[in-house]
Amino acid sequence: MKVSIFITCLSDTFYPRTGIAMVKVLEHLGCEVDFPQAQTCCGQPMYNNGFHDESRELAKRMIQVFENSDHVVTPSGSCAAMVRDYYPELFHGDHAWEHDARKFADKTYEFIEYLVKVLKVDLTQLGAKWKGKATYHYSCHLRGIGITNEAEQIIRQIDGLEYVPLEKSEQCCGFGGTFAMKYPDISGTMVRDKVACIAATGAQTVISNDAGCTMNISGSCRREGAGVAFKSLAEIIAESLGLMERHDDYLHPAGQKPRTAIAGCGPIKT
């Protein structure tokens, strides 16, 4: 299987390990992986803020970059949803581009979706092992592409991983791209709610599959003093299959005192 990977701009700069893990897992599963270097960003920030002409130019670029790919896989539900839900709409009325956008949308997959729906992976058969207690954050844009509990299914296939579901898992963490900057108060209150739910699970690792959510929630966990580590599902799988050395980047490692006690963090800012 020939797979082109779409490494989102946030993953490229902020979370390269996610992309690396994704490549290693896909190669391990027998895919021929290709990374078209001319790719940049899908244009979602522009699109969501109403700059549709600018977004359209970026979309055209992406469509051309991946023109010859069979399957396009990305480690972000958000960027996959942009391509799948909004690219065809962006070119509504422009038949040639709309057709190409739809073609691109049809071959674009989010990483978990690709594992479960296309490669039909069963990690128990592959001997996946990972030790520790982890919870999983469901990112909102998975809703848009019809992913519900697929990630949990995969997580439960890993031997030794103690999975604790997150309360209010369907509630947004408050990232929302520029929303976090435009409405810091609301976003801050939302993410503290998420941090409180994470703290309540007692997990040491949070699995979060969208770089935006990870930035937001880990930033809040660090501020509020929650000493957890964040990983993408790709990293967990790569580590569990021994494709990657385990790396636990705890936000507050032993010996470093958090600035605020975890008891002080919660959904409500007083």
Partner 1 sequence: MNPASLPKSPPPEPKDVHVLPGPTDGSAFTGAAMGQGNITEIHDTNPLDVTLPYHMQPRVEKATHDAQLQQFVNSATLSKDRARKRICLEAFGDNYNRMRELGGRIKQHTLDHLDYYLEQFVTNAAAAGAKVHFAETTDEANGICLDIARKCGAKLCVKSKSMVTEEMHLLPKLESIGVETVETDLGEFILQLDKDAPSHIVQPMIHKDRAATARAFTRELHVEYTEDPGKLCQIARNLLRNKYRQADMGICGGNFLIADTGTVVICTNEGNGRLCTSAPRVLVAFVGIEKLVPSLEHLGVLLKLLARSATGQPLTVYNHFMTGPRRPDEHDGPEEMHIILVDNGRVKTLKEETREMLRCIRCGACLNTCPVYRKIGGHAYGSVYSGPIGAILTPMLKGLGNYPDLPHASSLCGACYEACPVKINIPKFLIQLRRDQIKQKITRWPDRLIYRVWAATLRNSLTYRLGGWMQKWMFRLQARGNGSLGRAGSDPYASRGWLSDAPGPVKSWTRERDMPTPPARSFRQWWDEHEKDKKSKEA
Among 74, 209, 216, 240, binds partner 1 (CB under 8 A): 216
With binding defined as CB under 8 A, does residue 243 bind partner 1?
no
Using CB under 8 A, which of 108, 187, 209, 240 touches partner 1? 187
Task: State which residue, 14 or 163, has the beta carbon closest to partner 1.
Answer: 14
Judged by CB under 8 A, the chain residues 40 through 99 that form the site for partner 1 are 40-41, 43, 45-52, 54-55, 57-58, 61, 89
Binding test (CB under 8 A) with partner 1, winner from 3, 7, 128, 206: 7
Q: Point out which residues pair with 230 in neighbouring strands.
A: 206
Largest CA distance in the chain: 61
Measured CA to CA in angstroms, residue 218 lies from 41, 111, 183, 198, 221 at distances of 23, 21, 18, 11, 5
201 lies in the site for partner 1, by CB under 8 A: no
> Bridge partners of 159?
129
Which window, 34-42, 107-115, 155-163, 198-206, contacts partner 1 (CB under 8 A)?
Answer: 34-42
- Comparison of 23 and 115: residue with beta carbon closer to partner 1: 23
Return d(Cα 66, Cα 72) in angstroms, integer.
8
Q: Are residues 265 and 199 in contact, defined by beta-carbon separation less than 8 angstroms?
A: yes
Which residues ranging from 117 to 176 are in contact with partner 1 (CB under 8 A)? 140-141, 143-144, 168, 170-172, 174-176
Q: Give the three-state DSSP class for 38.
A: coil
Compute the distance between CA of residue 61 and CA of residue 83 in angstroms, rounded to an integer.
12
Kindly indicate which of the ranges 16-24, 104-112, 115-123, 156-164 contains the residues binding partner 1, using the contact rule CB under 8 A.
Answer: 16-24
CB under 8 A: which stretch of 98-106, 119-127, 182-190, 202-210 binds partner 1? Answer: 182-190
Question: What are the tokens at 232?
Answer: 């993408």
Q: How far is the CB of 130 from partner 1 (least distance, A)?
A: 17
- Per CB under 8 A, the segment of 66-74, 116-124, 201-209, 211-219 that binds partner 1 is 211-219
Binds partner 1 by CB under 8 A, chosen from 247, 260, 261, 264: 247
Q: Is 131 left (phi over 0), alpha (psi -120 to 50) or beta?
A: beta
Angle at 263 between CA 200 and CA 219, to 5 degrees: 75
* Nearer of residues 41 and 126 to partner 1, judged by Cβ: 41
How far is residue 40 from each of residues 58, 105, 200, 244, 260, measured CA to CA in Å?
Answer: 8, 17, 38, 26, 38
Distance of closest approach, residue 230 Cβ to partner 1, in angstroms = 9
